[in-house]
Homo-oligomer: A and B are copies of this chain.
Amino acid sequence: MFVIDANSKTPLHIQLYNEIKKDIIKNYKLGDKLPSTRKTASLYNLSKNTVKSAYSQLVVEGYIESYPQSGYKVMDTLNIDYSKIEGLNLGDNKDEEDYLYDFFPVRLEKGSFPLKIWKRIFNKVIDSSLDFGSYSCGQGEFELRVEIAKYLNDYRGVKCQASQIIIYDGFANSMALLANILKQDYSTFAIEHPGYHYALKVFDSYNYKIKKINVDENGLNIESLKSSNVKIVYITPAHQYPTGVAMPIANRQKLLDWAKEENALIIEDDYDSELRYTSRPIPSLQGLDANDRVIFLGTFSKSLSPAIRVSYIVLAKHLLPLYEKSFEFDIPKVSLMTQKTLEYFMKEGHWERHLRKIRTLNRKKHNLMEKLLIEKLGDTMKIESKGGGLAILINPIVPFDWKLLKELALKNKIKLYFAKKFVGDEWNAITLGFGGLKEIEIPKAISIFSKIWMQSIKK
């Protein structure tokens, strides 16, 4: 028998829901029947609607199921604890809390998002007389595109107009748009090897023939590309993923020449370019191109927030009519409020200030982590990639017990990530993200990591 308190501030149906839930977890087996709503209502002197509301909450959360005639039963999929549903990751991120340090490579410090400014601007936006009853512009708000074009011209050396920019909701969908509109004229797709395998997966899902082109100390090997007979190439020239190589100017020119001669297209993913710590940001390949062969991809995920879901495409001009014919052209991808807030955020100069701040913050963390790794791991490791972005990638150069490392990481409550997950299975490195850690946490985090690293070296 539960205690339902009519004078409590918690609504009755929530009290009942909480009590039944506890009861199910403690006392019920799969398939057990719950008392009928009528019975429960009379037992606790509640209205039938109150009971129904509690039961329906339990249904949607998967604790119970409703069967016609036979009433409510505790679910036969052992769906009592969400985290236990077979094979389902419900993504409520409960597990993250359990780690002392999480080295996730694409993450910013929680406090780094400019909440106060964003809030002020959002309120301004919502008080302005926008029309939320209509579809906004499918390509993205014109004024936001102007701001992005200005930024790209000034800071990334991208030569573009607002009319070439498409506002999108993230990398994967941007790539899917490209794969879709290009497939009537193209059927082959080259990607760096090692490279970012999400890019590959998207084009693969549209049935492109995929070629992997080796990356050497100058980035993508241009000769291999030339002999591959491929017409679209996806590259990360500013800070190659995952090796961190920046493509030298001579190779950039060769790549552009190739594209011109072959009438090929280059998809330049400007991945991490804003976060360079050892040199100035390297101007884009797009800005060097005089033949309209480059499509440029950028995102606000890495330097503003991965949770606001805003990225953009700078389309080559000759592809605009193709895009306009696609049905995607009519359909906006990002909420009007977010677009307008970002527009004013950029227009009022906050974006530039924020970039400077975030770059300084992460440079410090990068340098500190690098220094500590060298100090503590010495010549047992090779740094595979550093100098930019939100992670340092390392590999052991001594006999190493990977399985033990993973076990020890778990035991010591640090969460490690491996490049494999993002690169596919052929290439690996431990990806030590510093973006999500506070500067003050890094010494302790690396200290624990170093200890388990040393223990994992095979004697």
A residues with CB within 8 A of B: 56-57, 59-62, 66, 79, 82, 85, 87-93, 104, 106-113, 115, 118-119, 122-123, 126-127, 130-139, 142, 146, 149-150, 153-154, 159-163, 169-173, 176, 180, 183, 198, 201-202, 205-207, 301, 305-310, 320-321, 324, 327-329, 331-338, 435-436
Give min CB distance, A141 to chain B, whole Å.
9
A119-B126, A307-B336, A338-B338 in contact; A60/B135 too (CB < 8 A)?
no
Residue ID in chain B nearest A290 by CB atoms: B68
Q: Is B309 a contact of A334 with CB atoms below 8 Å?
A: yes
Residues of B within 8 A of A183 (CB): 205
Cα A206 to Cα B183 in complex, Å, equals: 10
B110–A132 contact, CB under 8 A?
yes
Q: By the criterion CB–CB under 8 Å, are B331 and A142 in contact? A: no
Find chain B residues with CB under 8 A from A153 CB: 56, 59-60
Contact A320 B87 (CB under 8 A): yes
| In the bound complex, CA of A85 to CA of B321 (Å) | 11
Asked if residues A61 and B161 are in contact (CB atoms below 8 Å), the reply is yes
Q: Are B60 and A91 in touch, CB under 8 angstroms?
A: no
Would B154 and A56 count as touching, CB distance under 8 A? yes
Q: In the complex where A85-B163, A205-B180 touch, is A169 in contact with B333 (Cβ < 8 A)?
A: yes
Flag if B113 contacts A123 (CB, 8 Å).
no
Residue from B132, B150, B324 in contact with A308 in the complex, judged by beta carbons closer than 8 Å? B132
The residue from B92, B198, B333 contacting A170, defined by CB atoms under 8 A apart: B333
User: A149 to chain B: which residues have CB within 8 Å?
Assistant: 60-61
Q: Inside 8 A of A113's CB, which chain B residues have their CB?
A: 132-133
Number of identical protomers: 2
| Residue of chain B at shortest CB distance from A119 | B126
- A138→B307 contact, CB < 8 A: no
Establish whether residues A307 and B123, one from each chain, have CB atoms under 8 Å apart when the complex forms: no
A204 to chain B, nearest CB (A): 10
Which residues on B sit within 8 Å (CB–CB) of A321?
A: 87
Closest Cβ of chain B: how far from A112's Cβ, in Å?
A: 6
Q: Which residues of B contact A122 (CB under 8 A)?
A: 122, 126
Residues from chain B with Cβ under 8 Å of A435 in the complex: 133
> When the two chains form their complex, are residues A106 and B135 in contact, meaning their CB atoms are under 8 A apart?
yes
Contacts of A60 in B (CB 8 A): 146, 149-150, 153, 160-162
Q: How many angstroms between the C-alpha atoms of A334 and B333 in the bound complex? A: 9
Hey, which chain B residues are within 8 Å of A112, CB to CB?
133
**Across the two chains, which residue of chain B brings its CB closest to A309?**
B335
Contact A107 B133 (CB under 8 A): yes
Return A301 CB to nearest CB of chain B, in Å.
Answer: 8
Q: Which of A150, A169, A170 has the most CB of B within 10 A?
A: A169
The one of B62, B338, B436 that contacts A162, using a Cβ cutoff of 8 Å: B62
| Contact assessment for A134 and B306 in the assembled complex, using a CB-CB cutoff below 8 Å | yes
Given known contacts A115-B126, A180-B205, A327-B198, A133 and B109 CB-to-CB distance under 8 angstroms: yes
How near does chain B come to A373, taking the closest CB pair, in angstroms? Answer: 23
Complex Cα spacing A334 to B169, Å: 8
Chain B residues with CB under 8 A of A79:
161
Add 10 more A-B contacts to A207-B207, A309-B334 (CB < 8 A).
Answer: A56-B150, A56-B153, A61-B161, A91-B142, A110-B133, A115-B126, A119-B123, A134-B306, A169-B309, A308-B335
Contact between chains at A163 and B90 (CB < 8 Å): yes
Which 9 pairs show the lowest CB-CB distances between chains A and B? A91-B137, A108-B133, A60-B149, A113-B132, A307-B336, A62-B161, A132-B305, A135-B306, A92-B142
